[in-house]
Structures are given as C-alpha cells and as structure tokens.
Amino acid sequence: MRRLFATALAVVMLGGSALAMPPPHYWRYHGHRWARFNEPYAPPPGWVRHDWRRGERLPPGYLAPEYVIADWRAHHLHRPPRGYHWVRVGADLVLAGVATGLIAEVIHDAFE
C-alpha cells in the first residue's frame, strides 16, 4: 500500500510540473524577460523582409488592426506612449505612430 501511494504521489508531482510549462519553442528571451509568442501571422500583400530601424515609417498595410498588438501586457511590453501602438511586422515587434507609422522602437526577432 505504501509503495502504491508513493508511486502515485511521484507521478502526480512529476507530471504536474511537466504540464505547467508550455513547449520551449513558444518562449523567447528579450534581454531581461521571457515572453510567449505563438500567434498565427500572415503579412500584408506586397510584404518584403526589411531590417526595420528607428525613424523609418511603416507601410500603411501594417497599420491595419490585425497587426496591432492590443494586449501589450500579455507580451510583456511597456505601455505605448499616446499616439503610438505596438505592431507585429514579420518576426519583429515595432512601436509605431498610429497616424504616421513613424517607428520609435524595434524588438527584432520577437516571433521566431
């Protein structure tokens, strides 16, 4: 009886810890924090790979609602300043102006 109880307890304890963590490919380290990124993504028409930099402007296609990261807290991002929002651009996260598309910050390879 003790052996059965000990075995059951070990299975519950070890199995619970394995189920608590998602598969490692869903997690990405960004400097000082881990973030989970696994949303489906389809680029806008005419998309080409580009190494985005601060001061550039996003094409209007990326300012559509399906590319905006509305729940920035879930992605462990800081609150965007007034007039800006976080946008997914390929594998990158870009903090861009709502009206202008002007890029203020880029997190490269956030979704790879």
Q: What residue segments make up the domains of the chain, in order of their start? A: 23-39+51-112
In angstroms, rounded to a whole number, what is the distance separating the alpha carbons of residues 68 and 95?
A: 10
CATH tag for 23-39+51-112 (out of 3.40.718.10, 3.20.20.80, 3.40.605.10, 3.10.450.160): 3.10.450.160
Predicted model pTM: 0.64
| Alpha helices (runs of H) in 26-109, residue ranges in sequence order | none
Find out whether 104 and 96 touch, Cβ atoms under 8 Å: yes
Q: What is the pLDDT of residues 78-99, one digit of tens each?
A: 999 999 999 998 888 999 999 9
Q: Decide if pLDDT at 109 tops 50.
A: yes
